[in-house]
Amino acid sequence: MKRAALYVRVSTVDQHPETQLHDLRQFAAQRGLQIVQEYVDHGFCGARARRPALDRMMEDARRHRFDVLLVWSCDRLARSTKHLVQTLDELSGFGIQFLSQREAIDTEGPLGRAIIVIVSAMAELERCIIIERLRAGMRRARLEGRQIGRARLDVNREQVVHDRRSGMSLTHVAKKHGISRASVCRITKQSALTPASLPCGEQLSVRAE
């Protein structure tokens, strides 16, 4: 029975890698593969070539600790064609078979490798188009005079700092000025307020209370 490794990636911490893992575990069982390791990069963009779990996976591939690598889709492994091809070249050199569940791609044959390059190129093109649309929208918004990014807080910053100096808690200051506790911390830090000038037990952390 071939030894299989699963690699999954999600771009934000709000996403759940368990969805991909569940599908891949079933996929491995259908193929008669024994899962020996699962690698998860949680909150990492696919454009980054260096990721903690990916680096560990490639190191284990060099040591031949598994025979097959399973991914949910090609863009989970890499978002650029260049990076994907380089990774596949390395895996092939280590004698590792690559399987992508969503695209039904198997690199054991030359056709599978050709298809995977085409799929990766299309995914990279789609990403570039999305980025360009976002930039165009931001340019149009600036020309129209609209706010880009977080709006500046409409608050008396000196009074916020004064209230914190006087011993008022984070929660009370935040409620008084209608802002978040994190904003209170940010304003006090920007005012160069040192922790020593705060009342005992009222440091600048949002967990002060």
Q: Are 129 and 123 in contact (CB under 8 A)?
A: no
pLDDT for res 80: 78
Kindly list the catalytic residues: 11
**What is the mean pLDDT of the segment spanning 130-145?**
83
pLDDT for res 204: 39
**Alpha-carbon torsion angle 131, 136, 141, 143, nearest 10:** 150
Per-residue buried b or exposed e for 170-184, using 16+ beta carbons within 10 Å of the residue's own CB? beebbeebebebebb
pLDDT for res 110: 67
Contacts of 110-117 with C-beta under 8 Å, sequence gap 24+, read: 113/88, 116/74, 116/84, 116/88, 117/81, 117/84, 117/85
**Structure confidence at residue 149 as a pLDDT band (50, 70, 90):** low
**Mean pLDDT score across all residues of the chain:** 82
- Considering the entire predicted model, what is its pTM? 0.55
Tokens 């090609």 correspond to 74
Interval 9-36: pLDDT, tens = 998 877 889 999 999 999 999 999 999 9
Go through the domains of the chain in sequence order and give each one's CATH number: 3-125 (3.40.50.1390), 150-209 (no CATH)
pLDDT for res 34: 97
Q: Are 89 and 60 in contact (CB under 8 A)?
A: no
Interval 48-90: pLDDT, tens = 888 999 999 999 999 999 999 999 998 898 877 778 878 888 8
